[in-house]
């Protein structure tokens, strides 16, 4: 078994056991660093911390059934400074904003700012380029509890020469928002690492109450706008005012072995929402949140047409999605499209949906979703494993308009989205309840192709009815099989359904349906 180095920074490193098992390793193993045992691990992705910069190490993963090893070298740094040297108290009572922000601003390139154990209470912080932030074990960066003290950031401004400069937005629009708790604007080469916590403290700040009454949209926990080479490793991110981690029009984002949590009833607390980004890796992460675990976005039609920046080259691997509306969601704000998405070796447990694609008329002609591949996935207790919806009825003032819900074949124009090729292979689902899959395209713009290969879906004996997708006039169903409407080409190869209530396959308005080795238990 091979051992892959995912990330090596100045004081931490992350590794991945290469095998066919989703998220969990074939058996528990011991992690050894230079021959010294550190701990036991059961997941394919694991980490080591408190390393010395610019030093070579040997890492080993040992079990009865396998052994893997690799050599790696940590990066160099210019200095490492304790944040308390700038006056931070870390007592959970003192306002440490000025001390922490001064430390971030003053340190030289290549510096590491260390937060020892303690609770550092601050208002929103702004990062700079070429720095590492390390949160030691039992260190917590906690959001200021008075919402009115959080600054407001414009979504876009125009400089004196007429050039537009973008600073943020929410749900696909460049609009004012509360400043995110930790943010970076037009920066590069930043790492946030460690075993500590970044806590948005949203409940204390009343960010989850009467959310539609605020003067502007809510803050994110971690927000990166027009940034490059950003790494998050090992931290626990929790209780954001809204989305937890939001890379925005950024490149080369790596998120490794991060745990992201929020209460199940917390509004819009998506875990990771990369928007119009290129080259995003999300590997070895765990999620338990109040909305989608991962939601890939590329803005609504206005920015999708104006900037035309698709979400491209995203890789999601060896992650554990527990609870949330969707495990991996595309949309609904995908006005510039999504392409080249790979999701593999993941475990979805207790989410409403597994794959969830949300779009509708009005997202625009640049909303082209293509080359999406899910493989080697295990789902447990996912109500509807596959949901592809071109009739999404939430968000936006016109969501209940006839233009959105009409089943007539409408003219294709600049507002019409496109869904291309989707491949699902080597997937095992147990405890489904609502539908095995529900894929509903537009009459004028059918989904191009859907391929299922080696897929097994078992329904729970006590399954309860539910709505498989969010659309106008949606009707509840229970133990519905593979449902397709307005899909040009459907290929089903080695698919087994157990406990389906009626027909295994329901297909309407298609050009080609290929079925090979379809069985019912």
Yes or no: say if 450 and 482 are a contact pair by the CB < 8 Å rule.
no
Residue 242 has phi, psi (to 5 degrees) of -145, -125
**H-helix or E-strand containing 100?**
helix 97-106
Between CA 23 and CA 58 the distance in angstroms is 23
Per-residue model confidence (pLDDT) at position 1: 87
Of 271, 337, 302, the closest CA to residue 155 belongs to 302
Per-residue model confidence (pLDDT) at position 395: 82
Is 73 exposed, middle or buried (CB count within 10 Å of its CB: 0-12, 13-18, 19+)?
middle
Pairing of strands 111-115, 79-82: parallel
**Topology, domain 2-73:** Immunoglobulin-like (2.60.40)
Between CA 480 and CA 467 the distance in angstroms is 11
Between CA 209 and CA 273 the distance in angstroms is 22
Per-residue model confidence (pLDDT) at position 267: 96
Residues 216-226 as b or e (16 or more Cβ within 10 Å = b): bbbbbbbbbbb
Active-site residue, from 130, 325, 421, 423: 325
List per-residue pLDDT tens for the chain, 521 residues long.
Answer: 899 999 999 999 999 999 999 999 999 999 999 999 999 999 999 999 999 999 999 999 999 999 999 999 999 999 999 999 999 999 999 999 999 999 999 999 999 999 999 999 999 999 999 999 999 999 999 999 999 999 999 999 999 999 999 998 999 999 999 999 999 999 999 999 999 999 999 999 999 999 999 999 999 999 999 999 999 999 999 999 999 999 999 999 999 999 999 999 999 999 999 999 999 999 999 999 999 999 999 999 999 999 999 999 999 999 999 988 999 999 999 999 999 999 999 999 999 999 999 999 999 999 999 999 999 999 999 999 999 999 999 888 899 999 999 999 999 999 999 999 999 999 999 999 999 999 999 999 999 999 999 999 999 999 999 999 999 999 999 999 999 999 999 999 999 999 999 999 999 999 999 999 999 98
**Class in CATH terms, 77-291:** mainly beta
Does the annotation count 291 as an active-site position? yes
The region that residue 186 occupies, defined by phi over 0 for left and psi between -120 and 50 for alpha, beta otherwise, is left
List, as one string, the DSSP characters of 168-218: --BTTB---EEPPSEEEES-EEEEEEES-EEE--TTTTTTTSSGGGSSSBP
**H-helix or E-strand containing 139?**
strand 139-143
Of 475, 405, 472, 471, the closest CA to residue 434 belongs to 475
Number of other CB atoms surrounding residue 66 within 10 Å: 15
Yes or no: say if 386 and 424 are a contact pair by the CB < 8 Å rule.
yes
Per-residue model confidence (pLDDT) at position 58: 98
**Topology, domain 302-521:** Pectate Lyase C-like (2.160.20)
Is 81 exposed, middle or buried (CB count within 10 Å of its CB: 0-12, 13-18, 19+)?
middle
Between CA 372 and CA 338 the distance in angstroms is 9
Token output for 458: 């078992």
Per-residue model confidence (pLDDT) at position 521: 80
Active-site residue, from 239, 270, 291, 352: 291
Yes or no: say if 391 and 334 are a contact pair by the CB < 8 Å rule.
no
Per-residue model confidence (pLDDT) at position 439: 98
pTM of the model: 0.97
Q: Which residue has the tokens 């495990």?
A: 327
Domain with CATH 2.160.20.10 in the chain: 77-291, 302-521
Pairing of strands 177-178, 152-153: antiparallel
Of 263, 230, 267, the closest CA to residue 246 belongs to 230
HSE-up (13 A, CA, CB side) for residue 286? 13
Domain with CATH 2.60.40.10 in the chain: 2-73
């Amino acid at each position: 078994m091979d051992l892959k180095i995912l990330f090596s920074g100045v004081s931490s490193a992350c590794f991945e056991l290469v095998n066919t098992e989703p998220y969990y390793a074939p058996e528990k193993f011991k992690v050894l660093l230079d021959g010294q045992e550190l701990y036991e691990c059961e997941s394919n992705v694991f980490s080591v911390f408190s390393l010395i910069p610019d030093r070579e190490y040997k890492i080993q993963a040992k079990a009865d059934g396998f052994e893997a090893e690799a050599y790696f070298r940590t990066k160099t740094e210019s200095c490492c400074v304790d944040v308390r040297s700038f006056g931070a108290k870390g007592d959970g009572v003192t306002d440490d904003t000025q001390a922490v922000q001064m430390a971030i601003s003053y340190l030289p390139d290549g510096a590491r700012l260390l937060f020892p154990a303690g609770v550092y209470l601050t208002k929103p912080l702004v990062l700079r380029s070429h720095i590492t932030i390390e949160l030691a074990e039992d260190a917590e960066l906690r959001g200021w509890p008075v919402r009115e003290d959080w600054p407001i950031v414009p979504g876009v401004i125009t400089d004196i020469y007429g050039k537009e400069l973008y600073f943020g937005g929410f749900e696909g629009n460049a609009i004012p928002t509360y400043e995110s708790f930790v943010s970076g604007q037009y920066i590069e080469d930043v790492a946030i690492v460690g075993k500590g916590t970044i806590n948005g403290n949203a409940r204390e700040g009343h960010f989850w109450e009467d959310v539609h009454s605020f003067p502007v949209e809510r803050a994110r926990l971690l927000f990166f706008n027009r940034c490059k080479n950003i790494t998050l490793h090992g931290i626990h991110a929790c209780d954001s005012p809204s989305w937890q981690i939001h890379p925005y029009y950024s490149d080369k984002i790596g998120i490794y072995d991060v745990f992201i949590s929020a209460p199940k009833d917390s509004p819009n607390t998506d875990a990771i929402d990369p928007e119009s980004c290129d080259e995003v890796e999300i590997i070895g992460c765990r999620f338990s949140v109040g909305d989608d675990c991962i939601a890939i976005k590329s803005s609504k039609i206005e920015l999708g047409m104006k900037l035309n920046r698709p979400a491209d080259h995203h890789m999601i691997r060896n992650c554990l999605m527990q609870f949330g509306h969707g495990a991996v969601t595309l949309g609904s704000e995908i006005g510039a499209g999504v392409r080249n998405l790979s999701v593999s070796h993941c475990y979805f447990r207790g989410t409403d949906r597994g794959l969830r694609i949300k779009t509708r008329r009005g997202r625009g002609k640049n909303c082209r979703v293509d080359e999406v591949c899910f493989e080697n996935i295990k789902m447990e207790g996912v109500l509807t494993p596959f949901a592809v919806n071109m009739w999404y009825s939430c968000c936006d003032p016109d969501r209940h308009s006839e233009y959105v819900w009409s089943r007539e074949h409408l003219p294709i124009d600049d507002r019409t989205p496109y869904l291309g090729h989707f491949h699902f292979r080597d997937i095992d689902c147990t405890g489904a309840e609502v539908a095995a899959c529900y894929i509903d395209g537009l009459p004028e713009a059918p989904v191009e192709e859907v391929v299922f290969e080696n897929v097994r879906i078992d329904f729970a004996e006590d399954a309860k009815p539910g709505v498989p997708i969010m659309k106008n006039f949606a009707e509840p169903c229970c133990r519905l099989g593979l449902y397709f409407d307005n899909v040009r080409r459907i290929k089903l190869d080695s698919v087994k359904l157990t406990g389906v209530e009626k027909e295994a396959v329901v297909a309407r308005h298609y050009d080609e349906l290929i079925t090979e080795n379809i069985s019912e238990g």
